Structures are given as structure tokens and as C-alpha cells.
Amino acid sequence: MLENFWYAVELSSAVTTKPKQVTIMGRELVLYRDSQKKAVALNNRCAHRGAALSLGWVKKGCIECPYHGWKYQSDGKCVNIPANHSNVSIPKRARVDAYPVQEKYGFIWVFLGDMPTTECPPIPEFSQFEDPVRKPACLEYNFSAHYTRTIENVLDVSHAPFMHKGSVGTSKTPEDTVIEDYELQVSEWGLSATLGIKINKLNGLMKFILPQDDPNAKKEYRFALPNITYSSVQFGSYKIESITAHVPIDETTTVAKAISIRNFLNNVPLLNDWFDRNTAKVGTKICQEDDVVVQDQIPKQVPYNNMSCELLVASDATLIAYRKLLKKYGKQLEKV
């Protein structure tokens, strides 16, 4: 994995004063909120005898190990060893690693690198998620695939008419599968592209709500290193936007955690909930459809270092750009 980047690892709403374990490429962390409600990320393994701190509890802002009650501050320092007399000093090694944390756009972002955070790429900008008009809809899905594959799956602009006929909609004519050349913006740490939407028969609730006669209906794709994809669909003035964190659990497991906002149907409580449930249902079905293919792709990890390993064509411009970014930061990738 890329080391010196901020990773979105959890939904903000899932982090409370009850400790929660998250695993990033086999590395276990515990997340919780201290007495100021600030999110904390520590190494999950107690310095004493390796118990999981996530099985413990938080008292007065400190996390306590369930095994022998060692108590840790949010900087990872142990401040109490109950089996010792209070006049016995606490060993210097009685501490666990603490990781820098930020909370933004409804996600908890953790920095696991070894460089100062000030010298590393910042969290990407998604200002529209800064202060949404109401609680965004969330979705989680466990993919049995490497995170570079799940990221490419979102950036893959040509698979929907084949994989998502049932969940999204169908093309009217065979020519609608053609992807015209599209413009791609590549920045230092990400990319974006906007394409016209050619699905002419939307399924589900969408067909009653979205104006499908808009010839300018469009979808935007974005990627931001290391693990964020963004997509938006716009029909007329109606827009739905989602950010997905592809949390790399291990080589073959990725949990996609997504947050969605929309600029319509936000003020009718019953309809809001109904629409959110429908969005989650369709989103889950789309993920299930995608997972069948991505979990079985060979090689398991995107072959960013060997462009001749797969045969990418013009419609795959987003994927070519993604692989170039991986290659550019490849030294960091190979370190692990």
C-alpha cells in the first residue's frame, strides 16, 4: 500500500466511545472518541501481552485494556498499570503507536506513514460534503478483491451496460455501448473525467424521479490517491454524488464505505428515508454484480508496472491514468 498518504478508513458515524478495530493491509488499529469527542487511532495491540485494545473500553478519555487494565492516553502513552504500586514508575516502553487522525466529509482519515504529515499530500477536496443539508446516506460492502481492483472497477466507464442491466438500466441500441473519446484531467494525486450517460431505461425508483429526457445527462468520475473514488450522476438539475473509501483490509479483502448526497428530495422526511433505502438497495446490488468479476480477476492486484499485461483501449483512459499514478508512486508501493 502507499504509505505516506491520508487513508479514509471508517465512517465518522461508526466511531464512538466504544472502541472499534479496523484493519489496514493487515495492520490492526483501534479507533474511538476521547472525552472531547475527538477521534483517536492507536495500534490495537496492548504493549503488555498483546491483547486487543478494541475489546476494552474508554473511561475519562483513556482506553483500558480488557486483560489487565493498562490504561492508555490518546497519544499512546500508558498512564496506569493496575498491578503495580502507584509509586512504581511506568516503563518508557509501555506505549502503543498513535496515528494522526482527521475527520472530514463524514470519514475518519488516518495517516500511517513515516514522513511528517505537512510534507505529504493533503486530504482531497470535496467541499460539497463539508456541511450537507442533512445526514448523508451510507453504504458498506465487503469485496473479496484487492483495493486497486475495486478502485478500477469504479473508474471503469464501459462495463455498466453489461454488468448492471438489472440494477441500473439498459441501453436502447447496441451503439450505446460505444464510449466516445472523453476528456481526462490528471492532477498530481488524482484524476477526473466526465462522460454523457447513455443508459436510456433506468430501473427502480430512479425512473420515476430523474428526468430521463435530458440529452446532457452526465456522470463524473474522480479518483484521489490513495483510496478514494467519487462519482456523480446528473439528470437535468438533479444530482447525486458519492464518495467511496476503498479500505484495504488485506490482499484480497476491501471494504467499500460510501457516503452519498443529493440535491433533491431532501426536505420530505418520509421520502428521504425511502429514497435512501432504495439507493442503498441498488448500491448493494451493483456491488454484488461487480464483486463477481473483480474478485476473480488475474492478477489480483492491478498490474500498474506492466502495461502490456492487459490490453487497455481508448475507453479505458481513466484506468491508464490510474496506473500511471500508481507507477509514479510505485517506490512507496514496493516498500511494503
H helices of 247-329, in order, are 269-294, 317-328
230: Cα within 13 Å, side-chain hemisphere: 22
As a residue count, the chain comes to 336
Task: With beta carbons less than 8 A apart as the criterion, state whether 111 and 94 touch.
Answer: no
Instruction: Check binding of 77 to ligand FES (CB under 6 A).
Output: no
Closest approach of ligand FES to the CB of residue 82, in Å: 8
Q: Which of residues 253-312 bind Fe ion (CB under 5 A)?
A: 290
Judged by CB under 6 A, the number of residues near ligand FES is: 8
3-state DSSP helix/strand/coil % of the chain, to nearest 5 = 25, 35, 40
Long-range contacts of range 130-133, CB-CB < 8 Å, 24 or more positions apart?
130/104, 130/105, 132/106, 132/261, 133/261, 133/266
User: What is the rounded distance in angstroms from the CA atom of residue 70 to the CA atom of residue 48?
Assistant: 8
The interface partner of residue 51, options being ligand FES, Fe ion, none and the CB cut-off 5 to 8 Å by kind, is ligand FES
Give yes or no for a contact between 259 and 138, defined as CB atoms under 8 angstroms apart: yes
Q: Name which of Fe ion, ligand FES, none residue 48 binds, using a CB cut-off of 5 to 8 Å depending on partner kind.
A: ligand FES
Question: Closest separation between CB of residue 46 and ligand FES, Å?
Answer: 3
Q: Does 37 bind ligand FES (CB under 6 A)?
A: no
Q: Which of 5, 70, 223, 230 binds ligand FES (CB under 6 A)?
A: 70
| Contact set for ligand FES, span 249-308 (CB under 6 A) | none
Pairing of strands 184-186, 57-59: unpaired
Where does this chain touch ligand FES (CB under 6 A) — which range of 3-11, 63-71, 196-204, 286-294? Answer: 63-71
Q: Which is nearer to ligand FES, 63 or 199 (CB)?
A: 63
Handedness of CA 89, 95, 99, 101 (dihedral sign): negative
Interface residue with ligand FES among 18, 37, 59, 68 (CB under 6 A) is 68
Exactly one of 57, 67, 182, 238 binds ligand FES (CB under 6 A); that residue is 67
- Neighbouring residues of 33: CB distance < 8 A, sequence distance ≥ 6: 15, 16, 17, 39, 40, 58
Residue 290's binding partner, choosing from Fe ion, ligand FES, none, with beta-carbon cut-off 5 to 8 A by kind? Fe ion
Least separation in angstroms between CB 48 and ligand FES:
3
Asked if residue 49 binds ligand FES (CB under 6 A), the reply is yes
**Residue 63 within binding range of ligand FES, rule CB under 6 A:** no
Nearer to ligand FES, 81 or 137 (CB): 81
Q: Does 57 bind ligand FES (CB under 6 A)?
A: no
Beta carbon nearer to Fe ion, 241 or 290 = 290
Between 30 and 317, name the residue whose CB sits nearer to ligand FES: 30
In the complex, what is the shortest distance from the CB of residue 22 to ligand FES, in angstroms, rounded to a whole number?
19
96 binds ligand FES (CB under 6 A): no
Q: Which of ligand FES, Fe ion, none has residue 264 at its interface (CB below 5 to 8 Å by kind)?
A: none
The CA distance from 238 to 151, in Å, is 25
With 0-12 CB in 10 A as exposed, 13-18 as middle and 19+ as buried, what is 256? buried
- Helix extents (H) in the chain: 147-155, 160-163, 206-209, 269-294, 317-328, 330-335
Piece of the chain touching ligand FES by CB under 6 A; list 60-68, 244-252, 277-285, 295-303? 60-68
Q: CA angle, corner 9, sides to 3 and 14, nearest 5?
A: 160
Q: Which residues bind ligand FES (CB under 6 A)?
A: 46, 48-49, 51, 65, 67-68, 70
Q: Which residues bind Fe ion (CB under 5 A)?
A: 290
